[in-house]
Structure 1
Amino acid sequence: MPEPATTPTPPPWAAGGVGQTPGAARRPPSGIPTGRVTDGRVGQSPIRPEAEAKVNGAFDYASDLAFDGMLWGHTLRSPHPKALIRSVDTAPALALPGVAAVLTAADVPGKLHYGLIEADQPVLASGEVNYQGEPVAVVAAETLDLARRAAELVEVEYEVLEPLCDAGEAVAAGEFFRYQPVRLGEPETAEAAVIVAREYEVGMQDQAPLGPESGAAVPTEDGLVLHVATQWLHSDLEQIAPCLGLPPERIHLAMAGIGGAFGAREDLSVQVHMAMLALRTGRPVKMMYDRAESFLGHVHRHPARMRYEHGADADGRLVYVKAHIVLDGGAYASTTEAVVGNAASLAVGPYKAEHVSVDAWGARTNNPPCGAMRGFGGVQTCFAYESQMDAIADALGLDPLEVRRRNALAQGDKLINGQVVDAYDPAKAVDGQPFSPLRDLIDRFADIPVPPVPAGRDIVELPGGTGNTTHGEGVRRGVGYGVGLKNICYSEGFDDYSTARVRLELGGPEHDGEPVAYIHTAAAEVGQGHWNLQTQIARTELGIERVVLLPNDTKAGSAGSSSASRQSYMTGGAVKAACEAVRELWRDRDLADGPVEATRVFRHRATKPMDPVTGQGESHVQLALCVHRATVDVDVELGLVKVVDLTCVQDVGKALNPVALEGQIQGGSAQGLGLAVMEEIITDDGRVRNASFTDYLIPTILDMPPMRLVIVENADPEAPYGLRGAGEPPTLSSTPAIVAAVRDATGLALTRVPVRPEHLTVGRPS
């Protein structure tokens, strides 16, 4: 890891642009407004420092990057899911006027492979391709259209092979990235009064960030500056440098403005390709995917097939759980190993089970690579185990919430991997029994009535009503619940940390001579409001009003990834610690004598890898709970669904910024709604059939209902300010809640998401 600089880095354009000539920036390459000062402390909801620029269109996203003398890059991708490369002829493309470079695997200056966990993905395909869309060559030209035309002229001879696209067949053939069992008690001999066994399927969901992959590489006298839209600057650097054959200190990564992420930007996309082209041509090179290429150029949520068997006693209490989970990791590893670990450890959810047998695999196929997406392995299993809890309630004639109450873990209990539900607070004991965070959340629904069916509804309030497809015939209402348990921060012994540098000095005339704090981190602002939170922490800890954020880059120490709901915990903790150190130094000196500065690295408590045989091991840092109630209207004649209400009760530990928190819950719920009833990447023998927003549907304002939120604050004493990561749990619980409501309306089993119209016509198979 590069050592932090000793002084805050000024915005790179302040000294006349980034890099050396050619390549002076024509506009600032960072999205942070220079010198912007906002107000507000922890617990308040100040306006975001970038809010005005985003609203008026002045915010610079990665796709807005522009440099003097800039070339455009484009990628030639394989049309085949599996094939041998017999030859590549770049001469026709190089002969096109205006083409500056055409590079193949033979031109990679360093190591050919990279990867987040396992370095198995080639920078450019060498000898074979293993999924549709795998990069084969990259082109640099004077315009983007010219680069695309040149890529079409590259002649590649393929020997097409039969792809392996069935994840179950891959596992049977030994093609998998990880196998993780969990064993507890004696599930094979346990006896139960009621047994529910079903198979479930979750389709491949895309993160669908509104900003496509984009960035620019600018050569300097001794290396490169890369302006990238990423979730983890330092991980990018660790993967890029070996591929370029350059020492890390000769590569400077600076964060470009990001238009959403949700896991899609954890893996590399344009980074190495544009860097290679810039090094070859000596000119700045920009790459920007169109939407179709974006669908092919980043990872997706793992599709899953799961077989669950739950045994319960006559009162609905779980006796045993058996689960067989197959996640399709696609062609390359990405984060599949970690996703499998999450899926296995969270396979039963927040419920007690004395006897457990879980087997989880991450299959290697010739489907598109899958990796991180909001919920990270918890979404798939949550749909299955929540559906099972409803099935148990139905079999016993019990209320679905009561079944969950009776099985809810309490503080001091353990998950199936041995993880203790902490921290136990004797003051919250109920009738001498340990406090159960889940029962607490469930019980709050008693005070929140289900919305009534209004009389004389407007047609637009009905399923398909905006298309004038119905006037209410065949519309039935249903109500359903979902509970999600999500781990927060990285797990299984990963040495997770974040670094922050804070400098306090007397401001100039523009700051009225008042103290000003400068914060420098590498934390990615992907829309979650983390820039704002850093300023809130500084004002809270230093007792000042003026806070300036410096651009996020690799001149600061690593802040880790903006994923796993971890940045408030980790970088928030680092900024808090640095501010506390600055405050102590400030006590003993006058700022008139010079600035005060401190750099701090924050780490969470240690975790352990899961045992490869038993699955035991306290593998998680923190656990977070969310409960949804969905109310839906279903037109059983047309197969259309309208979610009319989502009510959410979530434990957030501490609401650091209430407005941003509500936005995270609403956004996570919307992605869960999308998975429930509309979002799926369709593949046919490994080929993506719907790589556009015309054919891949995401929720719009017309699909998203009003939300009622109940924010619960059970503080975690281990976390800064007692917070709990809040961005992911709603994505887990909203999907099963919506599907449960659709089941309630139709009486259909519905074991697959997304639920399609053909699944919903009453009388047809589910």
Structure 2
Amino acid sequence: MFAFKVNGKEIISAEDMGLMKYLREELGLTSVKNGCSEGACGTCSVLVDGKLTKACVLTTAKVAGKSVETLEGFTEREKEVYAYSFEKAGAVQCGFCTPGMIVAAKALIDVNPDPTAEDCRKGIRGNICRCTGYVKIVDAMLMAAKILREGTPIVSNDKSGVYHSVPRVDARAKALGTGKYVDDYKIDGMVYGKALRTRFPRATVLSIDTSEAAALPGVIGAYTAKDIPGHRYIGHLVKDWPAMIDIGETTRYIGDSVALVVAETEEILEKALGLINVEYEELKPITSPAESLAEDAPKIHEKGNQLSFQQLKRGDAEMALKESAYVVDMTFNTPATDHAFLEPECAIGIPVGDGLEVITASQGIYDEQREVAEVCGIPIEKVRIRSAYVGGGFGGKEDMVVQHHAGLLAYLVQKPVKVRFSRAESLAIHPKRHPMEMHFTVGCDENGILQGMKARIVSDTGAYASLGGPVLQRACTHAAGPYNYHNVDIEGRAAYTNNPPSGAFRGFGVTQSCFAMESCLNALADKVGISPWEIRRRNAIKPGDELPNGQIADGGTGFVETLDAVKEEFDRYWNDPSYAVGLASGMKNAGLGVGVPDTGRCNIAIKNGKAHIRSSAACIGQGIGTIMLQVLCETTGLTFDQVVVENPDTKYTPNSGTTTASRQTVFTGEAVRTAALQLKEQLDKGRSLAELEGELYKGEYSFKSDPMGSDKPNPVSHVSYGFATQMVVLDKEGKLVKVIAAHDIGRAINPVAAEGQIEGGVVMGLGYALTEDFKLEASVPKVKYGTLGLFKSTQIPEVRAVLVEKNEDSLAYGAKGIGEITTVPTAPAVQNAYFNLDRNFRTRLPLENTFYRKSK
């Protein structure tokens, strides 16, 4: 028996168990989030006798006689102040880290009521945020401290409509821990499921014996591939990923499932998994594309080891390079990296009649509906997918990793089944950023005017296709950069290996090819004897110019303006020997493009006197729910309190496609505007929402693009492009001092949210440049959450976002996608800064021999 206090109440725990689990499962305190269970992320932060502590490293025995305080135990004034400050400052994005951040903020402010920004950064140094880049969290802490110190009353006077910095529609619920992520749901009669994973990345499964596990008391069922009633192979585009590996088949990576178990408790479940006997014939894994594409390589998939070949040729690159005054010819390497979203994957399958309901946290509920139905062998209309809050995605929650298993097990045992990844499982199983090897040759004339480029890109797509084909496409279509020249020869190959799969990740292949191209451009500037800024200004694409892929830049193209926005600061640091400055630019598409059908949808339902926004567009931290709210209010004149934004749900919300390719603000934003215009017609006639009860207004927006290889003189590859220039400043020791990120975003629907996207993307890009790596040994991950190299609050420099707004197009009120491009130019800007510091031209990420990482 262990006695202690929780939020002032006496508690007695009959057994010694993990404190985090006790607080969540026994007391239902959902502000305490399970992010890593390693003491590395801070999502489970609590106060123990007033001291900031991580609940996952404590047990009920260790807190005996002590007082534990969670966010639920704060005073009402504290809750109000912290929630207001975090939502007002724009410090809440996916929100999974936010309760832990607020607990850390209170721990600091209670002892230091007037902290500095540096104090705040130190106060949250044990808490990771993958979304915000910490900038606005520090702003929120300073705001909360001031309000508490001065006793200021809280008055909200937020404006409705677009172009205003309004708090996110879900910020308060996320901040206070009352908003539900999947793991926060408790369903009557819920049991637990998990897959047994292979011991080897590549091995033939000779036998599987589940009998001992099935006989264990408390085990409800143990299943193998032969028990799958529907289609065993899944995949959004290429159905090459088995829900379970069958006897006689060969595993393809360490995350492959060989059996599934359902049990009454998680403890029984873990014991049962250990009782399954699998006999393997271990085989040597194929660890690189070079091995995979060799003529004598064993086939990973029956169709061969090359997943995709992409080609983009325009003009005569060979002649242009031959006639160039200066040429750089280099090979670049970028690593696999993990999305490191704070919320590990989780799904709950619930049997409903002869169908299923699945609660998930993904980037596309209609993809899940289709694939769950296929695995279970039931009609798609029998599967309902409901989205909880999503604790970060960045592309990493597009694939099926737990959703299909939760649905399948619930269907088989006819009980609600929760399938939840540990952080170790998440790291091993879900797809990563594609490692790439890229050989680039780029030439310019004596004045630095680009003449042509040639690129050969090889991508490691890992064990399964995932989004490897489209990622390679984007790497190729953007490889030439946002410049006005037309001789390009680009080829790309994606190869299967026995490494963890690679898939969608913020930047979607462009982070990799931009690193190569922008580094080459900086090398050319050095050869010509002009600055990195000047070579870009001379070649920058402008409205009416032709991009290297042939598309004509539209009137809203603001690339030049992003360069001009950093010019004054660039000149200042470029001419100051106390600093080293680096520069890079980039572009990123909005929408799927390249001939792929692409549609955004939204319905506005009038219910109980309010306008309900219904769309499947997933909010993964970027704030699409708030964007939809602002667009509706701007169009109709309604106020925020007259609108409800519903979570994605295949029963009610129309298919608006996956949250990917920086598309939702443009496509779903325009769909909302279209539906809202219909509602406005009725309101303009003097009808009230009460009088419109039961009405439904449907909005849809589609864009037709041209495929790669189109024979049109000027094909339209994408609906729009965002452009960016980022400037990085180092001190003489190589420590980051400042980043200025100027982004052409069309128009900022919500400026503070747009800034937050940029700040978060920049910090993610700094990690990609300097510290992040996903270590593998013989295709087996050798990482923990705490060793991924994620940037912490105390490592970030000053980050200043500059919003360039010149787009006058009415489409989605002029907005462009911002989520992905924010990370694209950061790594080459850092590389350039280090080159200007020590004249060592680095071609591999993460950069070696820096302030942040020494060579090994």
Q: TM-score, normalised by structure 1?
A: 0.86
Task: For 2:643, give the aligned amino acid.
Answer: V
Distance 2:810 2:374 in 1: 37
Classify the secondary structure of the residue corresponding to 1:663.
helix
Q: Pick from 169, 182, 189: which aligns with 1:49?
A: 169
Q: Does 1:629 align with 2:731?
A: no
The whole-number CA distance in structure 1 between the counterparts of 2:539 and 2:450 is 7
**Number of the residue aligned with 2:763:** 670
Q: CA deviation at 1:274?
A: 1.1
Q: Does 1:353 align with 2:476?
A: no
What is the CA–CA distance in structure 1 between the aligned matches of 2:613 and 2:560, rounded to whole Å? 40
Deviations 1:133-159 (A, max 9, x none): 112111111111221221121111111
Equivalent residues of 1:746, 1:760 under 8 A apart: no
Summarize deviations over 1:256-301 as a string: whole Å, max 9, x none. Answer: 1211000011001111111121122211110111111001221111
The DSSP-based 3-state class of the residue aligned with 1:694 is helix
The yes-or-no answer on 1:520 pairing with 2:614 is yes
1:342 aligned counterpart, secondary structure: helix
Matched, 1:706 2:798: yes
Tell whether the 8 Å contact from 1:413 to 1:420 is kept in structure 2 after alignment: yes
Give SS of 1:381's match. Answer: helix
Is the contact made by 1:329 and 1:336 (CA closer than 8 Å) also made in structure 2? Answer: yes
| Kept in 1: contact 2:606–2:696 (CA 8 A) | no
CA distance in 2 between counterparts of 1:451 and 1:400 reads 14
CA distance 1:144–1:416, change in 2 (3 Å): same
**AA aligned opposite 1:551:** N
User: Is residue 473 of structure 2 the alignment partner of residue 341 of structure 1?
Assistant: yes
Amino acid at match of 2:253: Y
What amino acid does structure 1 have at the position aligned with 2:563? I
Aligned residue in 2 for 1:389: 521
| Residue aligned with 1:329, SS | strand
Cα displacement (A) at 1:188: 2.1
Aligned-pair CA distance for 1:707 = 1.3
Q: 1:612 deviation in Å? A: 8.5
Q: Is residue 566 of structure 1 aligned with residue 663 of structure 2?
A: yes
- 1:658 partnered with 2:739: no
CA distance in 1 between partners of 2:627 and 2:325 (Å): 51
Contact 2:603 2:614 in 1 (8 A): yes
How far the C-alpha of 1:452 sits from its partner, in A, is: 7.1
- Give the deviation of 1:343 after TM superposition: 1.0
TM-score by length of 2: 0.77
* Cα 1:593–1:150 shift into 2, 3 Å: same
Question: Cα distance, 1:722 vs. partner?
Answer: 0.9
Counterpart of 1:110 in structure 2 is 230
Q: How big is each residue's C-alpha offset from its partner over 1:20-69, in whole Å with a ceiling of 9 and x where there is no partner? A: xxxxxx999xx99xxxx986211112222221222222221112121111
Matched, 1:534 2:632: no
Q: Which amino acid aligns with 2:763?
A: A
Check conservation: 1:521, 1:559, Cα contact below 8 A: yes
Aligned partner of 1:106: which letter? K
Contact 1:27 1:66 in 2 (8 A): no
Q: Which amino acid aligns with 2:359?
A: H
Equivalent residue number for residue 58 of structure 2: none
Which of these residues, 278, 283, 288, is aligned with residue 156 of structure 1? 278
User: Is 1:175 the equivalent of 2:305?
Assistant: yes
| Cα distance, 1:363–1:486 mapped onto 2, change above 3 Å | same
| CA distance in 2: counterparts of 1:337 and 1:601, whole angstroms | 31
Instruction: Give the letter for the 1:361 counterpart.
Output: R
Question: Structure 2 unaligned runs (5+)?
Answer: 1-27, 31-93, 96-156, 296-303
Could you tell me which residue of structure 1 aligns to residue 680 of structure 2?
583
Any residues of structure 2 matched to 1:76-155 within 5 Å, and which? Answer: 76-126=196-246, 127-155=249-277
Whole-Å Cα distance in 2 between the matches of residues 385 and 706 of structure 1?
Answer: 26
CA contact (8 A) 1:219 1:278 kept: yes
CA contact (8 A) 1:750 1:759 kept: no
Letter in 2 for 1:679: E
Q: Match for residue 465 of structure 1?
A: none
CA–CA distance in structure 2, aligned partners of residues 615 and 246 of structure 1: 46
Distance 1:179 1:613 in 2: 19
1:264 is paired with a residue of what secondary structure? coil
* 1:728 alignment partner AA: E
Aligned counterparts of 2:776 and 2:617: Cα–Cα separation in 1:
35
Q: Does 1:265 align with 2:367?
A: no
Q: Which residue of 1 aligns with 2:130?
A: none
Matching residue within 642, 646, 669 for 1:550 = 646
Q: Which residue of 2 aligns with 1:513?
A: none
Partner residue in 2 for 1:7 = none
| Cα distance in 2, alignment partners of residues 281 and 147 from structure 1 | 15
* 1:745 paired residue number: 837
CA distance in 2, matches of 1:125, 1:135: 6
Higher helix share: 2
Q: d(CA) in 2 for partners of 1:90 and 1:39? A: 60
Deviation at 1:110, TM superposition (A): 0.1
Moved more, 256-265 or 599-608: 599-608
- Structure 2 distance, partners of 1:91, 1:195, is 66
Contact 1:585 1:596 in 2 (8 A): no
Residue of structure 2 in register with 1:428 after alignment:
none
1:449–1:193 CA distance, 2 compared to 1 (3 A): closer
1:723 paired with 2:819, answer: no
Indicate if the aligned counterparts of 2:468 and 2:503 stay in contact, CA closer than 8 A: yes
Quick one: which amino acid aligns to residue 227 of structure 2? D
Q: Does residue 482 of structure 1 match 2:584? A: yes
2:450 is aligned, of 313, 318, 327, to: 318
Pair 615,271 (structure 1): closer, same or farther in 2 beyond 3 Å: farther
Aligned residues: 688
Counterpart of 1:595 in structure 2 is 693
In the alignment, the residues of structure 1 paired with residue 244 and residue 29 of structure 2 have an alpha-carbon distance, to the nearest angstrom, of 31
Give the superposition deviation at 1:444: 2.2
Is residue 364 of structure 2 the alignment partner of residue 232 of structure 1? yes
Amino acid at match of 1:668: G
- Cα distance between partner residues in 2 of 1:172 and 1:115: 26
Partner in structure 2 of residue 197 of structure 1? 329
Deviation by residue 1:632-664 (Cα, 9 ceiling, x = unmatched): 2364xxxxx532211011111111001111110
Q: Give the 3 Å change call, closer, same or farther, for CA 632–717 of structure 1 in structure 2.
A: same
What letter is aligned with 1:322?
Answer: K
How far, CA to CA, are the matches of 1:613 and 1:46 in structure 2? 45
The amino acid across from 1:80 in the alignment is F
Structure 1 residue 312: deviation in Å? 1.3
Amino acid at match of 2:702: H
Task: Work out the CA distance in 2 between the residues paired with 1:616 and 1:153.
Answer: 62
Aligned amino acid, residue 688 of structure 1: P
Deviations 1:655-710 (A, max 9, x none): 100111111001111111110001111112211111x1122121111122221222
- For structure 1, the residue ranges without an aligned partner over 5 or more in a row are 1-25, 425-435, 456-474, 508-515, 636-640
Please identify, of 120-129 and 173-182, the stretch whose mean Cα deviation from structure 2 is larger: 173-182
Partner of 1:687: 780
Distance 2:611 2:451 in 1: 56
Q: Which amino acid aligns with 1:518?
A: H
Matches of 2:714 and 2:747, distance apart in 1: 30
Conserved? CA contact 1:579–1:598, under 8 Å? no
Q: Which amino acid aligns with 1:609?
A: P
CA contact (8 A) 1:581 1:598 kept: no
In the alignment, the residues of structure 2 paired with residue 377 and residue 213 of structure 1 have an alpha-carbon distance, to the nearest angstrom, of 23
Is residue 338 of structure 2 the alignment partner of residue 206 of structure 1? yes
Give the corresponding residue for 2:33: none
SS in structure 1 opposite 2:739? strand
SS in 1 for 2:816: coil
Name the SS of the counterpart of 2:212 in structure 1.
helix
Indicate how the Cα distance of structure 1 residues 367 and 634 shifts in structure 2: closer, same or farther if over 3 A, else same.
farther
Q: Is the 8 A contact 1:263 1:374 kept in 2?
A: yes
Would you say 1:188 and 2:318 are equivalent positions? Answer: yes
- Indicate how the Cα distance of structure 1 residues 385 and 41 shifts in structure 2: closer, same or farther if over 3 A, else same: same
From 568, 580, 587, give the equivalent of 1:447.
568
Deviation at 1:734, TM superposition (A): 1.2
1:131 Cα deviation after fit: 0.8
Question: Which one is further off, 616-625 or 324-333?
Answer: 616-625
Is contact 1:648–1:707 with CA below 8 Å preserved after alignment? yes
SS at match of 1:479: strand
Query: Are the counterparts in 2 of residues 38 and 49 from structure 1 also a CA contact under 8 Å?
Result: no
